[in-house]
Structure 1
Amino acid sequence: MRATHSKKVGTGSNKRPEKLNVHIRNSWRTNLQLIMSIGYKKSLSAWQCLSEVKMGRGSPIPPMLRRKIVEQYQKGVSQRKIAKSLKLSSSTVHNIIQRFRESGTISVRKGQGRKTILDARDLRALRRHCITYRNATVMEITTWAQEYFQKTLSVNTIHRAIRRCRLKLYRSKKKPYLNMIQKRRRFLWAKAHLKWTVAKWKTVLWSDESKFEVLFGKLGRHVIRTIEDKDNPSCYQRSVQKPASLMVWGCMSACGMGSLHIWKGTINAERYIQVLEQHMLPSRRRLFQGRPCIFQHDNARPHTASITTSWLRRRRIRVLKWPACSPDL
């Protein structure tokens, strides 16, 4: 009696990887045979079809291989021989041929898959809500969607749904608010100066002031660090409670740049008149050399104060009217 020797392959945890390796080797062998059968001088579309081959279980059969199955079937080759020659299962060949009989195509039938939580009607309602409330956060939209659709929805689901609606979250642009009266005044100002020539605009001396904060020691929000460096002092976000500030006043025209004045603290009417006497008047004489000019400044409180307007009137300085909330220079 012949003795049988059993070869121990390994534990149960090692059998699955070996089966997977065998499956991968068989798949590569099938693809290699298919490439050899097609040849090396085929068209580019044939190689593109071969490049769509996916390794693994449940992957669709490439269109080139499906076409070859149908061609052999039309020549009268049996399904068993087709499956054996192409190293495919008989059920796979049978399903491809049956689909060709029913629909006349060799395309892959669309799988069912998991249905989306929000259908097309829900997406339209979500899009209308997002457009109506553009400044709402994703968390607020998620809370509304859960109450409106009566479904369990997460923030990531709403993120994906917003992208499916062809919308995207952006950082909004900053723009000063204008009411109807301010818009009307700006429109009338533009209409009144519509016929000004280039030579007339060259006679304007433009001026403005701005506040600059000295942010010494203040760092940004983002930092590059590891998980362990969260308590490292170099990774902290430093902020200054009351940063020092500087006020800068300047003027310019088509003839050139005027003087630039820097001072600390805020400005009032008295200090603004000193700036005009010490910097605006010399700049006007240097730039226009006695020619008539028009002085422009905005509607800040030091500019529209009674002592400032009376000083400009005594100096016979013509001031360009400027509508409220106009854009800065």
Structure 2
Amino acid sequence: MEKKGDLSNFERGMVVGARRAGLGISQSAQLLGFSRTTISRVYKEWCEKGKTSSMRQSCGRKCLVDARGQRRMGRLIQADRRATLTEITTRYNRGMQQSICEATTRTTLRRMGYNIEDWKNVAWSDESRFLLRHSDGRVRIWRKQNENMDPSCLVTTVQAAGGGLMVWGMFSWHTLGTLVPTGHRLNATAYLSIISDHVHPFMTTMYPSSDGYFQQDNAPCHKARIISNWFLEHDNEFTVLKWLPQSPDLNPIEHLWDVVERELRALDVHPTNLHQLQDAILSIWANISKECFQHLVESMPRRIKAVLKAKGGQLSLSDTTNIF
């Protein structure tokens, strides 16, 4: 059922993202749960006016922070990306004739496109597979220009030698969740156990006011009837974030998998069996720094902007460099 009133910046971003990713009006409406009229209106406003803010421009009190004030606030953000709302407000008011309150700061930051607080309410999840033995395939040899197909210049590869381990994990801006070894690709029954035993307590503990969003991709086991029914039974406790198909660039947990992979390769003593591999992965995950995963969440506004710039396509290397 569609929510009443104007959409939040977060919801507007999802609408624009869906349309820019190539989804039609009807597909976007079905995915996000808004009417076709709302989808059309929001996307039209973005195309014609670049509007992604839900703030109405022609009503209410005069804005206390003008363009010059926004530039000042922008400099404060750039000087300290981790500053709290209180710290930003205090620093802004220093030397100003007219001071502002934290509510005005929050409104101004959202108008400027800083919606980090929304992303702090999202818990990200995904599965990943780690191989016991892994080769990146980069073997350097000496050869002449016309010897590229010479048998002596070709190297055979071994696929997934020694097996591998599937794990499921989740995290939010506040903390890392439990990493769950699954041993194999998840089915609906196994996933139901995970959301009951791990997702549910995480969301109710981190977001006791029921303002949390849980992210999952569109894997078949995530869309099974028993999973959908379970989420419906608990929809008063948290919201399942509508997720666009084929959107790996938008899930920051992908970068945590990269951290685990790099740390595995850097081990002085490499695992020789799956039990050792599991112990190593769990240890690496538990020691990922708070600064690391909070930085990923704080990158979400830049990540969304980069995906929109790429018109819904995969991000280039330069795009991801700018994000992080």
* TM-score category (smaller protein): 0.3 to 0.5
- Which structure has more relative contact order (CA 8 Å, sep 6+)? It is 2
Higher-Rg member (1/2): 1
